[in-house]
Chain A
Amino acid sequence: MEATHVHGAGHAHGGDHAHHPKGIMRWITTTNHKDIGTMYLWFSFTMFLVGGVMALILRAELFQPGLQFVEPEFFNQMITLHGLIMVFGAIMPAFVGFANWMIPLMIGAPDMAFARMNNWSFWLLPPAGILLTASMFVPGGAAGTGWTLYPPLSIQMGIGMDMAIFAIHILGMSSIMGSINIVTTILNLRAPGMTLMRMPMFCWTWLITGYLLIAVMPVLAGAVTMLLTDRHFGTSFFNAAGGGDPVLFQHIFWFFGHPEVYIIALPAFGVVSHVIPAFARKPLFGYTSMVYAIAAIALISFIVWAHHMYVVGMPVAGQLYFMYATILIAVPTGVKVFNWVATMWRGSLTFETPMLFALGFLFLFTIGGFTGLVLSNTAVDVQLQDTYYVVAHFHYVMVAGALFSAFAAVYYWLPKWTGHMYDETLGKWHFWLSFIFFNIAFFPQHFLGLAGMPRRIPDYALQFTDFNQVSTIGAFGFGLSQLLFLYIVLKTIRSGEKAAAKPWEGATGLEWTVPSPAPYHTFEEPPVLTEAKGHA
């Protein structure tokens, strides 16, 4: 906001690098939120490439009917690892990285509330990522169950399954610590004058996401621990022969799994709520209703989990309840979309790369939301459950939703991180290549699902050939386009036009009051907000 005046901007001690180690030890021992944010982002991108290569192996095998490149058991392992790595290794750490970098800058805090724990939250990730990826190479290979790990199939798996369970435990610990840190930082370290309802929207989305994570990660940890004891210690939680129920796992898993969707989506909403106003040069429309919508989505996300299980044979009353509750989510989600559109309305729009990705998000996420509405209809879902329609749906939400928003965030904040402007022409190329290839890869999967192709199969009947070939071509195009992204980021770090403290004309918020690149230490003296409405 132009009305925000900042006193004592935090770059007074910015050049002070004297008291921390150099080289590799700097990164291992760092408690600096910017260093840790950077590490989260690089880790995330590395896992994104690993998970992406796995997706390309899947798509290569699916280019034509028959088995060509991989065996079915390896195909199943790739499915599992692609899902787990993309969700826990790529997307979640990316948004935690943004939170680490930007939340202290947005609220005028010197660092995260628990700086030492912040270091530990990050350094738990690489061992977990290695454990998960290395499970491919142990006897029997990785878990071939899909990321949902349903028993009894997961009981049959080899040691790779146990490695996945421990990886999930470690990732869960990391997420819980990260969330506690973010929640505490937001609640306690805001600059004087920044009330909750003046807080930037990204902080709001993360405050609520933090609570979601703290609530559901222990549930997942419990579910996989029960798997572990069923596998090795003779319990029968999920074994009917011992008095258990395999479907119990699905209930527990999706009680975690559905909020997880919003754990990924809410921070993405937050980013878009910054980028669209900045490039429309107009304040975010309906700030208050935005906050209520986020809270409503978060609350409802706890009571809809069994819509992932419409065909397990639950009582019809259960199916009806979960259908109504799921349909209800469309209301607050719609409010958010309408608010973004109203923000653009009568603005003064420009279309730099962050804005392009935000608009791509808006367009494709809306498609993903609508297909979600179709799937919420239990009668229709009977035909679509476990088909490629579902695969298309959640990739519109996860890739076009979360990933496009993450790209928007990187381009939007890269000048602040590196002190350089990225190459706008290449950025636009990255957007258009990603946008076009994404749709070539995933739009035909709706048709495949409608026509009856099940998901998680390495080989398919002949009538599915054409759209699978289109999809594979799109997937390879999309994958290769991401190398351009890597090149753009590296180029920006090394060279590029010097960025001003506020490189975007319409950007608002405290993060743009510190120089670019942001000094190592910022806001050691809290800024004072003298005017109302400090929010973006």
Chain B
Amino acid sequence: MGINKKTQSCLTGLALMGWSAMVRAAWEFNFQIPATKSAQTVIDLHNMMMIIIMIIFIGVFAVVSYSVFKHRKSKGHQAAQFHDNTLVEIAWTVVPLIILAAMAWPATVALLNMRDTAQADITIKATGHQWKWGYDYLKGEGEGIRFMSLKATPAEQIRGSAAKEEHYLLEVDKHVVVPVGKKIRMLTTSTDVIHSWWVPALAVKQDAIPGYVRDAWFKAEKEGIFRGQCAELCGKDHAFMPIVVEVVSAEKYSQWVGNQKKQMAAAADEGGKSYSLDELKSRGEEVYAANCAACHQANGKGLPPAFPALDGSKIATGPKEAHIALVLHGKPNTAMAAFGGQLGDGDIAAVITYERNAWGNKTGDVVQPADIKAARK
């Protein structure tokens, strides 16, 4: 009997796994598989509420259905004329109140825990930009690392001229890497409009509000890659600013931190280097595609009037200084961001050189990283 039971439960388990794998592939109908205790708590709370709701719903509509089938005029049912019953009315006011209070208690406990951001191991700031996320590792191992994380899904896939990959729209060039089992405090803010940093498997959703800093936390229980996206309408490309969190072991995390530090050091002393026009143009084209093309378009024609054309524009063909200043500081109350805080001197020099020499713009100007460094002062 013992063996039998074991086999049986094994088979059931396998069948369930097969079923859930099948369901996961498509027709997703429930919360994503949780990677934190908070996410599991949300699922448990939701299940509890659904059970209570189903019981009440079925109860109420059983009465309605009975009435619909039995108390029909076509079956000769005569209408009763009662229209009050104080006792019943008090009961169906008080009983729901008690049920609701019972539901509120575990919700309160869960919420207090979800909002307790104290004693974090690592603090990371996520900054929303139209339309990408920037990350600063502020405290704990990895302090000082900062990078932009851009959507990696190519335009061809979005426009349908290339097949869509498995992680369509949920892939970025640089993952947010964090160690497993550590409490990560996420600060959120924004440089332009309100965004919202959301990763379902971690149960973190926190609005990123320009001029203010908010916080939330998570502690991943397992390694893996967890995907999310911006959850607050932030303009044209709201659907195209994904978030990818990669949870790794402590050793791998230390390795990653080491690599990042080296890369950053290499990028930092670019101010002294100088490049040829062609070098800057080809690098600038990549920077442009990642940072500028969403609004100003790959062909430089923009989407006027909201997003002006660069091809033939006064800025891109006029004095260099004004062009550099605009890219560094942005334009208030428009979607033109201040890229000074987002990109290094080399990238800004390259993209400005590109814009001044691409399409119909033939200024022949070369902007070097040193020019940007000087303009920042």
Contact = CB atoms under 8 A, between A and B. Distances in A.
- Decide whether A and B assemble into one complex: yes
A162 B49 CA distance: 43
A373 B215 CA distance: 26
A362 B27 contact: no
Contacts of B166: 462
Interface stretch (A309-317, A407-415, A427-435): A309-317
Most central of A316, A378, A461 by chain B CB within 10 Å: A461
A370 B58 CA distance: 12
Interface in B267-304: 303-304
B133 interface: no
A454 B194 contact: no
B71 interface: yes
Interface stretch (A31-39, A323-331, A394-402): A323-331
Nearest to B41: A379
Interface string A84-111: 0000000000000000000000000000
Interface string B107-127: 110111011000000000000
A155 B130 CA distance: 14
A337 B24 CA distance: 37
Nearest to A148: B233
A158 B306 contact: yes
Interface residues of A, number: 101
A378 B89 contact: no
Given A73-B306, A327-B104, A462 B79 contact: no
B61 A73 contact: no
Contacts of A338: 60, 92
Contact of B79 (A155, A285, A348, A464): A348
Given A65-B168, A379-B114, A363 B92 contact: no
Contact of B239 (A156, A367, A460): A460
A156 to B, nearest CB: 6
A348 B73 CA distance: 5
A331 B83 contact: no
A370 B53 contact: yes
A495 interface: no
A307 interface: no
A289 B92 CA distance: 11
A338 B63 CA distance: 10
B71 A156 contact: no
B23 to A, nearest CB: 10
B266 interface: no
B81 interface: yes
B320 interface: no
Interface string B75-98: 001111111110011001100110
A66 B74 CA distance: 53
Nearest to A454: B231
Contacts of B143: none
Given A156-B333, A341-B67, A344-B64, A282 B203 contact: no
Contact of A345 (B71, B93, B97): B71
A255 interface: no
Interface string B17-48: 00000000111111110000011011001100
A328 B93 CA distance: 11
Interface string B183-217: 00000100011101010100111110111101100
Interface stretch (B156-164, B250-258, B358-366): B156-164
B234 A153 contact: yes
A67 B158 contact: yes
Contacts of A382: 42, 114, 203-205
Given A283-B81, A373-B53, A456 B233 contact: yes
B305 interface: yes
A438 B78 CA distance: 34
Interface in A136-169: 139-140, 144-146, 150-153, 155-156, 158
Interface string B156-184: 01111000101111100000000000000
A452 B200 contact: yes
B303 to A, nearest CB: 7
A67 B278 CA distance: 34
A66 B164 contact: yes
B235 interface: yes
A313 B305 contact: no
B327 to A, nearest CB: 18
B83 A286 contact: yes
A218 to B, nearest CB: 25
B42 A379 contact: yes
Interface string A378-399: 1110110111000000000000
Nearest to A319: B111
Contacts, number: 300
Contacts of A286: 83-85, 89
Nearest to A320: B108
Given A68-B160, A454-B198, A456-B233, A377 B107 contact: yes
B118 to A, nearest CB: 12
A457 B92 contact: no
A454 B237 CA distance: 13
Given A66-B157, A152-B192, A283-B83, A459 B240 contact: yes
A448 B31 CA distance: 9
Interface string A328-349: 1011001101100111111111
A60 to B, nearest CB: 15
Contact of B196 (A145, A311, A320, A378): A311
A68 B166 CA distance: 19
B100 interface: yes
Nearest to A344: B67
Contacts of B194: 150, 152-153, 246
B322 interface: no
Nearest to B115: A316
Contact of B89 (A73, A320, A335): A335
A76 interface: yes
A76 B233 contact: yes
A447 B29 contact: yes
Contacts of B29: 447, 450-451, 467
A150 B158 CA distance: 27
Nearest to B61: A363
A330 B100 contact: yes
A145 B78 CA distance: 55
Nearest to A154: B193
A346 B229 contact: no
Contacts of B222: none
A139 B305 contact: yes
Contacts of A146: 233
Contact of B205 (A311, A334, A344): A311
B78 to A, nearest CB: 6
Nearest to B235: A153
Contacts of A451: 28-32
B68 interface: yes
Contacts of A347: 67, 71, 77, 79-80
A225 interface: no
Given A66-B157, A76-B235, A465 B167 contact: no
A312 B209 CA distance: 8
Given A144-B235, A379-B41, A349 B67 contact: yes
Nearest to B227: A461
Contact of B236 (A76, A139, A452): A76
A281 interface: yes
A326 B238 CA distance: 29
A241 B338 CA distance: 14
A152 B231 contact: no
Contacts of A436: none
Contacts of A280: 71, 79
**6 shortest A-B CB distances, which residue pairs?**
A240-B211, A313-B214, A457-B239, A451-B28, A447-B29, A348-B79
Given A334-B96, A463-B28, 5 more contacts: A67-B160, A152-B333, A153-B235, A246-B212, A452-B31
20 contacts: A66-B158, A72-B237, A72-B240, A139-B305, A239-B211, A245-B212, A280-B71, A281-B73, A324-B104, A341-B67, A348-B72, A349-B72, A359-B64, A367-B57, A379-B110, A382-B114, A382-B204, A450-B30, A452-B228, A461-B169
